Structures are given as structure tokens and as C-alpha cells.
A and B are shown apart, each in its own frame.
Chain A
Amino acid sequence: MNDITSMPALMLASKIKNKELSVTEVLDQQLKVIHEREPLYNSYITIMDDEAQKQAKLVQQRIDAGELNDSPLAGVPIAIKDNICTKSVRTTCASKMLENFVPNYDATVIEKLKNSGVIVIGKVNLDEFAMGGSTKTSYFGPSKNPWNTDHVPGGSSGGSASVVAAEQAFISLGSDTGGSIRQPASYCGLVGFKPTYGTVSRYGLVALAPSLDQIGPFGRTISDCTAVLDIISGHDPKDSSSVNIKNYSYMEALVNDVKKMKIGVPNLFLNKDLDEDILNCFTEVVEIFENMGAEVEYFDMDKLKYGPQAYYVISCAEASSSLARFDGVRYGYRTNDYDGLTDLYKKSRSEAFGDEVKRRIMLGAFTQGPGNYEAYYNKAMKVRRLIYDEYQEAFDKYDILLSPESLTTAPHINYNNNDPKDKYRSEMLNVSVNLAGLPGVSIPCGRDKKGLPIGIQLIGNRFDEKKIIRAAYAFEQVKPYKRPSTLI
């Protein structure tokens, strides 16, 4: 075990600040571990060795000059999901379509991280264009779960999860449209945070579904995630959907006190498909919260049942539109041999997009096409309103909501479930949170009989991150982070 790379990020940052460690020293160790473990996990699409070294030198200078005293994570290496644009560094979205695409602009979150002295160390794997839950649709092959490399790390931010679990990065950024941060976090035993829609700028995030997408952090502790959230959140004039609400630091919410906190558990999520181990773990979690003084109550939320249906219509329709710009004209993949414009479009797109992407594009266009707009797209938007309202009613009664994060632990890499009813049942736990634009965090709470991590989900009301941070922090004191036993 590498003493340096196994530390939590905040601890590392304070050691750097105290001059116990130098930025370059840390970076060297981190790169060493990355290169050692990459053959096992296949999580990095691009490792920014040289780039990161340059950044490290600059950051050390700034630290020495006293410029980064207020930054909580100066000098800490972070990995970035490869659908977030990084200037002069390849941004592929794990697709052949953008295999060699190099943006000449940074996403706003990257600018903020750089300003705070965080070192961007590499771009990590995802499902192609963030469509999927396992990284199996990645053009660069699937990543492996550090807890058991026969199992997937989850998705779509699978690479972001596996690198933090495997200590190939201290923290990482992912994106969450329908659970894509929370699910892999639970599969890999990490904390994964999806902020309230509008909290973090989407400028530079390659859009999947613009009304659902949010960027969020992965970390080994809730404190690490919160520190990242502090840095990346805030109004961005380049993103019209970003909101200006911050007048406090999220770190203030790291308080070990949930006395009298009213916690609601939707009965819907404890259905018969829940893994027995997960149910047992969840029951224990409820007891822990009750012992800490919180009031846990089970209640009914039945409209959430239709979340996945509405989610698929809306996300596929928006994705179909958002991915249309990849047409082989201005950048990205262009087919070699074509005859005329239509041929150029069809061949380029068909050759460069994977199957899942094509399916969702087709479905999305269908639901908005002739005769279907009312019955599908508009209907889904109405269902969305009902789900939103149902959550608002719940938050009139409860401070936060609690549920398992997933119905199963990380599936085996060869597991293929094509029955929509099953496939989307797990997503029911996650997608409605995006539909309502709420903040949600997944925190590790134990392991199943196979030794695979189990996660639970805390959901807060819009812009009420503080409550879920507080609950997660209190819980973590009882169940602290456990590193994968499989790691050397």
C-alpha cells in the first residue's frame, strides 16, 4: 500500500500546505501507482503525465507564494470523466466519434479546479457519451471494479469511480444524468455526489440530456467530496441554467449531528427485487440513524414508479438532439469514402457511434416525431411534473430521504440483462432524483456476501445539500471508509 496515494484528499492537502509533502513528490507517486495499476483496471483514457508535471510546478510556486492558502485542495491530483472538456487535452467521451478531438477551451469546472491549484492528472473512462451503467459501451473497453475485477465498476462514470477506489486518483469528477455518479460510487464503495441541478456549471460538459445532467465529485470521504463541491459550484454566466445561490461554504455542513432530523424512506424502493444482503445492510443503516437521534419513517411515494419511463423518453429525446452536432462536418470522425452529403452524414455517424448510442438516438427522435410528441414527449414532461410535486410534498414532511442506492451490487462483467422491466427497476431509485433536479449522494455502508460494496442514497430538497452532507458525515463517523481489500 502506498502511504501517500491511500490518504484522503483533505489530509493530503494539509500535508502539502504544511510542507510535509511537495506537490511534485505526490504527483510522482500518483503517476507511479496509475501506471502500475492501469493494466488491471483500464480506467484511464488519457494520462496527462507531462501536463500534470507542468501544473505541479506552477502550483508549488503558488503555494510557496502564499496564493493558495484558502484553497482546501491545492496540490491534490484529480481525475476527470472524459466527457468534460479539457483544453489541449483529448476529450473523447469514450467514443470513436471524438477519439482525436482536442478542445481549445476548458470546461468551467476545470478552470475553477485549476484556479484552486487542483492538479488535473488524466481523463477517465465512461460509457460511450455517458449512455450506460457499466462502461461496457466504451470505445476503449470496459473498466474493472477494483473490489473484484470480474465485475464492472458501474456507469456511466465507471472510470471516475474505479480510479478513486483503486487509489489512482484522490478525487475525481463524474457526471450524473440518471444515477451515473451515485450508482458507480455504490458499486465501488465510494462517496459520489450529484448536486442540485443548476449548482455546478455545465459549460464544457458534453451534453447528454441538458435538463438532467450535472457534474459532481467522487471521493473516499464525504469531506473530500464536499471540498470539491465548494470549488466547482457557483453561478457561471456561460451557463444560463446555473443558479447563484452560494453564500456559504458547503464545508460548514460537515457536522456530526442528526438529532431530530426527519428521514423519510419511500417504501417503493424496498421492493421484492432488492438483494437480500442490501436489505439487511439497509436495515442496519436505519438503526444507525435512529441511534444517532434521527427520526426515520417509512412512507409511500407511488408516482416515482414511472420515473424510468419518463426518464428514458426525456433523456433519449434530449440526447438525440444534443448528439446531432456530431455529423462529420466540423470536427470528430468523418468517414473516408462517401458520395454526397447524406452519405457523409449517415456513414460518419453509423461508423463512429456504438450500438447503445444509436438505439437511444432512434428512440429519442421517435418520441418527438410525427404523431408522438403529445403521447410520449409531452406525456413524459407531465409525469416529470407529478414526480417533482411528489418530492416537494415529501420534503414538506421530511428533511431528507433515504434509500438503497441500487437493487444489486456490481454485476459480473458478462451479465447481460435485456429485459427493460428488470434493467430499469434499479434505475427507479436514481432517475427520479434527476427528473426533480434534487441533490443526491451515495455513501458506502457495507459489503455483500461476495465482498462487493453496498451503498445507500441520501436525497435532499433542491439546494439543500447541507442536510444530506450533514447526515452523510454523521453516518461516516460510524461507518468510515474501507479501502478495497484487493488492493495491494
Chain B
Amino acid sequence: MKDYEIVIGLEVHVELSTSSKIFCGCSTKFSLDPNSNCCPVCTGMPGTLPVLNKKATEYAVAAGLALNCNIRKRTIFDRKNYFYPDLPKAYQISQLYFPIAENGHIKIELEGYEKVIGIHEMHLEEDAGKLIHDSDNNNTLIDYNRAGIPLIEIVSKPDMTSSDEVLAYLDKLKTSLQYLSVADCKMQEGGMRVDINLSVREVGDKKLGTRTEIKNLNSFRAIARAIESESNRQIELVKKGEAVDLETRRWDDISGENIRMRPKENVEDYRYFPDPDIPPIEFSDQEIDRIKSSLPEFREEKIIRFQKDYAIPKYDAKVLTSSKKMADIFENTANLCNRPKEVSNWLMVEGMRIIKDNNMDLWEVDFNPKKFSKLILMVEEGKINRTIAKEVFEKIFLEDIDPDEYVKKQGLAMISDDRELGKAALKILDKNPGAVSDYKNGKTKVLGYLVGQTMKDMGGRADPNQISKILKGLLEEI
């Protein structure tokens, strides 16, 4: 029985989060009104010309540096010519001959091993418009709001061999780019789109099999399923001695169908040539250094620093840096209240729970460090107990309330006055004569029950240890 291995390379398109499009001043903000963020340039009107967005270029350089690439000193834009209704000029301004960044890598960690995935190149290009099916009458509707949004395309080397590795690569890529704040990579909104190039071969074979391309996958689930389906399909073919065709396929995640779309285009079909409308970009060493030094700390650096500066374990540091937002919340709060261990605990346990329960994006969490810090100090000072604190924490997280005000308004402050506690304890003892006699007869465990009842009566706003002491005292006197 022959064993087969899968060889996977990815082309990932990421929308950059600039305010305006790559070649014109139209807004990149999402709009429901079709063709409302458009101008003659991004709709390909006759006589119009592109002018390059400086920030898009800087973001691309930053991304290239984050992916350990070599930034080309001189980079040019090329025209990729083909006809499709979502392409306003019938050519896409992209880069083929001299892309902005090359020869990078991403290191991924999986169960029990690490691997380096090579990045062949990364280049800048413009996005196309959107086609929508008009179900009324079988027409195609076109909206060019998305046309001209800046994209970086990251082309990996065919170094991945499983969907686990693919997902780890994508996760790392996503986090790295989010850390730079150059892209939000929201897959469900099309902010990150993945094309898979997959082939199979016998284990030990050095030659690559014929690959197929599966385009435009936009969820991790779809990617994993598509990889499984396509690799199975190819292995079946190869086992039977049939050839795999060089083609582009489509994965329908709803039906689970893997369908042939068309034969794969040859790069020469696109007649790439340098775009005469856009002068070359040349980076000096100083320019690249400037961009390098303005980059925010990468996640790896933060993990190391958090362990050092805040004396927290590596695992915690990893969780806390799973998004830059999260890391910032941790750091800002810890610096305000000086209780890094507390902050870490709250975020890792309660914080992560709330995020999961509410299906939130780690990238979207917004938590006011001042209020968070106040809460931690309130617990420490005994103003509220941990149970109440959990409720307040959730309210701060989801509704941004002020903890002091909330506690006051809801009457959640801890009661620590002995006399008040004593009154409540007495009440409970009166209500539970059976438990009292049990205690007197040596069944001391029943104290726990009495403490619980007293806490309930107090609405949880007391320290159970204090109540226990008071009950004990009262019981002694009976």
C-alpha cells in the first residue's frame, strides 16, 4: 500500500486598512449603497489615471518586514490584463516582475513540533468590485465600492502538508498583520481571502504532482474541508493511475461540493507588462529603517517582555497576547493598578469566557483599563467580594459601566459590619433550629450550610469567613 502526502501552497489576499483606496481618494469604508464610494478612476472611466496611496505602500513594507521578507529596493507595478465584469479597467494593477517583498517565512507551532513555512513573495495590488446575482431576472449586478481597495497578496512556498499546518500558518499570518494594525483580516467580511494550491505525491517522491487551485475560501472551516475533499479526490485519481488536471476549482461550503471551474490560466495569458502610468517606487535604506522602527512590537517580542516585566508564565503571556487589543488592555491595566497577576487571571478566565459566550472577535475586545483597574482594587480593599466582582466585570466588559457607580446603584457593596452580620446570622439560626441542635450535637459540618444560608440572605454581599466566625460565636452562646 502506497502512502501519499499532500503538498499545499497558499495565496492569501489581505485588504489593507487605509482610509482611502489604493489609486484614488474614495473611501474604503463599507457601504450598503452600491457604487457610492466610487469615482471615475476606480470605475475605469476613459482618460482617468491612478495615483498611488503612500500609506498603502508603507503598510505593505511593514507587512513584508513582519513576515521576515527582504524588501526590494526598486519595485514597479504591472498590468494584469483580463476581462471580467468586476474589473473596471479590464486590467488589474498588480505586481509580477518586481514585487515589493520576497523570501520571507512564518514559523508555526503545532502539537509537538515547530515548522518554518517559506514565503515566496508578497506584492501590492488593487481589489476588484463585487458581482451580485439578481434573482429577479437572472441578471448580474455590479458594485464597484470594493474596486480599488488596496490588497497585499502573500504567496507561500508549497511547504504545508496538512490542514492543521495551513490553519496554523493562517492564524499566525492574521495575528502578525493585526498586530501591525495594517489589516483587520476579518475573513467573514472578505478582509482575508485564501486560494489553495494543492497536489499529492507518494511519500518519498521528490517531484511535485500536478496541482489544482481552489479559490476564494473565506473561513477556516471551509479551508479545512476543501483540503480534505480535494486531497482525497486527487489521491483517488492517482491510485487509479489517472492524471490530475491543472485546473481551478470551486469549493461550495454549504453543499460540500468540490467543482471544476475552468482550466488554470497560464501567466502569459495575462500579458503582464510594466504599467506606464505609475513611476517605480524606490526605497532607501533610511526609509526602510524608518518604517522598521515605527513598527509596533511584534507578538513574539511581547510574549518575552511580558514574562520579564510582569513575572507571568509563558502560557499566560501567550494567551494575553493573542490579540494586540487584549495585550494592550492587560498592559495598561497592570500599569495602572500594579497587580499583573490579578489582571492576568481576570482576563484569562472571566475575560475569555465572556468573549467565547458572546462570540466576540479577539481583535474587537474593548475594555476600559481604568475601570478594570478600579475593579481589581475594589476587590482587594474588600469593597465587594469575588462573586459580585464577576458580575461587575462582565458589565464593564459588555456595557462599559463604571464599577463604583454600578455597585452603589445596585447596592452590591460588601457588608462587613459585625452587628449587621450578627443580626442576619441570628435570623438564620432562628429559622434553622434543627441545624443548630445538629451542631450542638457535634455535627460541626452543618456550619457550612448555615454560612450558605446567611450569605443567601445577604444577597452574597458578605465575606463568608467573617460570617462563619460570627455564627460560631453565636452558636457557642446557645
- The residue in chain B whose Cβ has the minimal distance to the Cβ of A205 is B47
For A209, the chain B residues whose CB sits under 8 A away are: 276
Closest to A368 in B: B271
Q: Does A207 contact B (CB under 8 A)?
A: yes
Please state if A324 and B81 are interface contacts (CB–CB under 8 Å). Answer: yes
Cβ-defined contact, A368 with B273, below 8 A = yes
The residue in B47, B90, B266, B269 that gathers the most chain A C-beta atoms within 10 A of its C-beta is B47
Min CB distance A41 to B, Å, is 26
Q: A240-B51, A240-B277, A241-B279 are in contact. Are A85 and B83 (CB under 8 A)?
A: no
Q: Which residues between 170 and 223 of chain A lie within 8 Å of chain B, taking CB atoms?
A: 202-207, 209-211
Q: Which residue of B47, B52, B83, B90 is within 8 Å of A207 (Cβ)?
A: B47
CB distance from B147 to the nearest CB of A (A): 11
On chain A, the residues within 8 Å of B279 by CB distance are: 240-241
CB-based contact B273/A238 at 8 Å: no
Q: How far is the CB of A475 from chain B (nearest CB, A)?
A: 34
CB distance from A296 to the nearest CB of B (A): 35
Instruction: Answer yes or no: B89 CB below 8 A from chain A CBs.
Output: yes
**B49, CB-defined interface residue at 8 Å:** yes
Given known A211-B276, A241-B276, A369-B271, contact A206–B47 (CB-CB < 8 A): yes
Contact with B along A101-127 (1 / 0, CB 8 A): 101110100000000000000000000
A368 partner residues in chain B, CB cutoff 8 A:
271, 273
A91 at interface, CB cutoff 8 A: yes
User: What residues on B are CB-neighbors of A203 within 8 Å?
Assistant: 47-49
**Does B178 sit within 8 A of A, measured CB to CB?**
no
Bound complex: CA A206 to CA B49 (Å):
10
A368 CA to B49 CA, complexed, in Å: 22
Q: Which of B49, B85, B266 has the most CB of A within 10 A?
A: B49
Give the interface segment out of A327-335, A390-398, A438-446.
A327-335
Cβ of B209 under 8 Å from chain A: no
> Are B47 and A321 touching (Cβ within 8 A)?
no
Q: Flag the segment in A161-169, A370-378, A465-473 that touches B.
A: A370-378
> Does B246 reach chain A (CB closer than 8 Å)?
no
B79 partner residues in chain A, CB cutoff 8 A: 321
Which of B45, B83, B278 lies in contact with A240, CB distance below 8 A?
Answer: B278
Given the complex of chains A and B, what is the CA–CA distance between A326 and B89 in angstroms?
8
- The chain B residue sitting closest to A345, CB to CB, is B83
Q: Determine which of A317, A331, A341, A371 lies in contact with B45 in the assembled complex, contact meaning CB atoms within 8 Å.
A: A331
Is A371 a contact partner of B268 (Cβ separation < 8 A)?
yes
A84 within 8 Å of B by Cβ?
yes
Whether the Cβ atoms of B89 and A324 lie closer than 8 Å is yes
Contacts A321-B271, A345-B83, A370-B269 known; A239 to B49 CB distance under 8 Å?
yes
* Chain A residues within 8 Å of B52, by CB: 240
By a CB distance below 8 angstroms, the chain A residues around B83 are 324, 327, 345
Q: Establish whether residues A370 and B46, one from each chain, have CB atoms under 8 Å apart when the complex forms.
A: no
Q: Are A103 and B271 in contact (CB under 8 A)?
A: no
Q: Does A80 sit within 8 A of B, measured CB to CB?
A: no
Asked whether B46 lies within 8 Å of A321 as measured between CB atoms, the reply is no
- What is the distance, in angstroms, from A349's C-beta to the closest C-beta of chain B? 10
Of all chain B residues, the one with the shortest Cβ separation from A105 is B40
Is B464's beta carbon under 8 Å from chain A?
A: no
Q: Within the assembled complex, what's the spacing in Å between the Cα atoms of A141 and B267?
A: 40
Q: Is B88 an interface residue (CB 8 A)?
A: yes
Complex contact B85–A377 (CB within 8 A)? no
Let me know if B51 and A373 touch, CB within 8 A: no
Q: Is the pair B268, A330 in contact by a Cβ cutoff of 8 Å?
A: no
Given contacts A324-B89, A368-B271, A371-B268, contact A85 B46 (CB under 8 A): yes
Chain B residues, Cβ within 8 Å of A341: 85
The reply to whether A325 and B88 contact each other, CB–CB distance below 8 Å, is: yes
CB-based contact B45/A103 at 8 Å: yes
The 8 A CB mask of A122-151 against B (1 = contact, 0 = none) is 000000000000000000000000000000
* Residues of A317-361 contacting chain B, CB below 8 A: 317-318, 320-321, 324-327, 329-331, 341, 345
Within 8 A of A (CB), among B7-47: 40, 43-47
Q: Is the CB of A330 within 8 A of B44?
A: yes
Chain B residues, Cβ within 8 Å of A206: 46-47
Q: Indicate whether B459 reaches chain A with its CB closer than 8 angstroms.
A: no
Whether A237 and B276, one on each chain, are in contact in the complex, defined by CB atoms closer than 8 angstroms, is: no
Q: Which of B71-87 contact A (CB under 8 A)?
A: 79, 81, 83, 85
The reply to whether the CB of A365 lies closer than 8 angstroms to some CB of chain B is yes
Is the Cβ of A321 less than 8 Å from the Cβ of B49?
no
Q: Does A98 contact B (CB under 8 A)?
A: yes
A321-B81 in contact given A211-B276, A377-B273 (Cβ < 8 Å): yes
Once the chains bind, are A318 and B271 in contact (CB under 8 Å)? no
Residue of A nearest to B80 (CB): A321
The answer to the question of B142 belonging to the interface, with a C-beta cut-off of 8 Å to chain A, is yes
Tell me, rounded to whole Å, the shortest Cβ–Cβ distance linking B415 to chain A.
69
Given contacts A321-B79, A327-B83, A371-B268, contact A103 B273 (CB under 8 A): no
Bound-state CA distance A330–B89 (Å) is: 10
- Asked if B273 and A317 make an inter-chain contact with CB atoms under 8 angstroms apart, the answer reads yes
Which of A105, A206, A320 gathers most chain B CB within 10 Å? A105
Partner of B49 from the list A98, A238, A330 (CB cut-off 8 Å) is A238
Which residues of the other chain, B, contact A237 by a CB distance below 8 angstroms? 51
Q: How far is the CB of A185 from chain B (nearest CB, A)?
A: 23
Cα A240 to Cα B276 in complex, Å, equals: 10
B88 touches A373 (CB 8 A): no
Q: 6 smallest A-B Cβ distances: which pairs?
A: A324-B90, A211-B276, A370-B268, A368-B271, A210-B276, A204-B47
Apart from the given pairs A321-B271, A327-B90, 15 other A-B contacts in the complex at a CB distance below 8 Å:
A103-B46, A202-B49, A203-B48, A204-B48, A239-B49, A240-B52, A240-B277, A321-B273, A325-B90, A329-B85, A329-B142, A331-B45, A370-B268, A373-B268, A373-B271
Interface positions of B (Cβ within 8 A of A): 40, 43-52, 79, 81, 83, 85, 88-91, 142, 266, 268-269, 271, 273, 276-279
Cβ contacts A to B, 7 pairs, < 8 Å: A84-B47, A103-B40, A105-B40, A241-B49, A241-B277, A317-B273, A325-B88
